Amino acid sequence: MSVNEESLQATSHRRTWRDVDLRAVAPFAALALLLIVGAIVNPNFISINNLANVATRSAFIAIIAVGATFVISAGDLDLSVGSMVAFVASLMILFMNCGVIADPALMLTAAIAFAVAAGAACGLANGLITTVGRIEPFIATLGTMGIYRGLTTWLSQGGAITLREPEIQELYRPAYFGSILGVPVPIAIILAVTAVAAFILYRTRYGRHVVAVGSNSDVARYSGIAVNRVRTIAFVIQGLCVAIAVLLYVPRLGSTSATTGILWELQAITAVVVGGTALKGGAGRVWGTICGAFILELVGNIMLLSNFISEYLIGAMQGAIIIIAMLVQRSLVRKS
């Protein structure tokens, strides 16, 4: 708590010369507010165990949303990510079940490489359809959303695809349930992915091109930026992020079904927007995005831990809290 207040104070010192910082801090203020509400609702809420659970659970949406930050900053939209998770995860499990490599460790390594390649290929397909095919990203990815989902249903014959090798399962389980120096692995991976993404977006030429294309693609084109290449690469980054989310998803339940990842695309987009990235493109906030993903997961957790909210009203309450979180952010930004 105090950390957050300190950072708020720190930014208030600087706000005279830079109001951008306050905007970046706004999602964290909303998060702090939620933590207080949660602690009042149920004392168990603030326990390390519960917060670690929630942070770990938010890993899938957070990592996907980091990729979505690139796509949205470049002025595009990717609706296919939820289906893509199901599709890439199914392919990965089927690959491990086919048993071409006898050694479990080697097999797992190959499967990880395979999943990353599959994710990148799915992202590349989205990018090429959007840029070379010159189809609105909303429609292009709505199409691939159906394709990836349909292929998953077909691969699983409507049922579930389950990892069969108990040895690989044993070897792979720590990727979700294990921890490094007391930090659950998925949380460590969120931080690593976000740090890399922040570096790319804020510190490299490519990152600046993404923002330039997103704010005005015509101006970017006249300035000599290869707009289509920048957009396509953003979709590939999205695909890679989906693949990383899959690498964490598969060890959790060891199986996928036709309902895996349904509506995750909307959660990812919500996380990006709650995190302070504009849906119209031209500005990206990677750290805000993972804060947004955490807020979304936290809202569900608080609802469930509370004793006074009817299970029938949870959806309505979640919607209301997201809007309130956005209003808190807006009011902070306006004050600056």
Partner 1 sequence: MRKGLMGIAAVAVMALTSVAHAEEKKVTIGVSIPAADHGWTAGVVFHAERVAKQLMEQHPGLNVIVKTSPDPASQANAVQDLETQGIDALVILPTDPDPLVNAIKEVKGNGKFVALVDRAPSVNDNSVRDLYVAGNNPALGQVAGEYIKATTPEAKVVVIRGLPIPIDQQRQDGFDQGIAGSKVEILDRQYGNWNRDDAFKVMQDYLTKYPQIDVVWCQDDDMAVGVLQAIEQAKRTDIQYVVAGAGSKEMIKKVMDGDKMIPVDVLYPPAMVGTALEMTVANFYGQVPVRGTYTIDATLVTKDNAKDFYFPDSPF
Positions touching partner 1 (CB under 8 A) are 42, 44-45, 47, 49-50, 53, 57, 153, 156-160, 162, 177, 252-253, 255, 257-260, 262, 300-301, 304-305, 311-312, 314
Q: CA–CA separation, 56 vs 322, rounded Å?
A: 20
Q: CA–CA separation, 259 vs 251, rounded Å?
A: 17
- CB nearer to partner 1: pick between 99 and 158: 158
Work out how close the CB of 43 gets to partner 1 at its nearest, in angstroms, rounded to a whole number: 11
Work out how close the CB of 161 gets to partner 1 at its nearest, in angstroms, rounded to a whole number: 9
- CB nearer to partner 1: pick between 25 and 54: 54
Work out how close the CB of 83 gets to partner 1 at its nearest, in angstroms, rounded to a whole number: 13
- CB contact set of 38 (below 8 Å; sequence gap of 6+): 45, 46, 298, 301, 302, 305
Q: Can you read off the two tokens belonging to residue 181?
A: 């120096």
Q: CA–CA separation, 279 vs 285, rounded Å?
A: 12
What residue ranges in 10-83 does DSSP mark as E strands? none
Work out how close the CB of 70 gets to partner 1 at its nearest, in angstroms, rounded to a whole number: 25
Return the bridge partners of 148, or none.
none
Work out how close the CB of 20 gets to partner 1 at its nearest, in angstroms, rounded to a whole number: 35
Q: CA–CA separation, 79 vs 126, rounded Å?
A: 10
Work out how close the CB of 296 gets to partner 1 at its nearest, in angstroms, rounded to a whole number: 12
- CB nearer to partner 1: pick between 37 and 121: 37
Q: Please say whether the beta carbons of 213 and 220 come within 8 A.
A: yes
Task: Name the 3-class secondary structure at 160.
Answer: strand
- CB nearer to partner 1: pick between 42 and 228: 42
- CB nearer to partner 1: pick between 217 and 257: 257
- CB nearer to partner 1: pick between 55 and 198: 55
- CB nearer to partner 1: pick between 92 and 227: 92
CA atoms within 13 A on the CB side of 265: 23
Work out how close the CB of 329 gets to partner 1 at its nearest, in angstroms, rounded to a whole number: 26
What residue ranges in 166-241 does DSSP mark as E strands? 179-180, 183-184
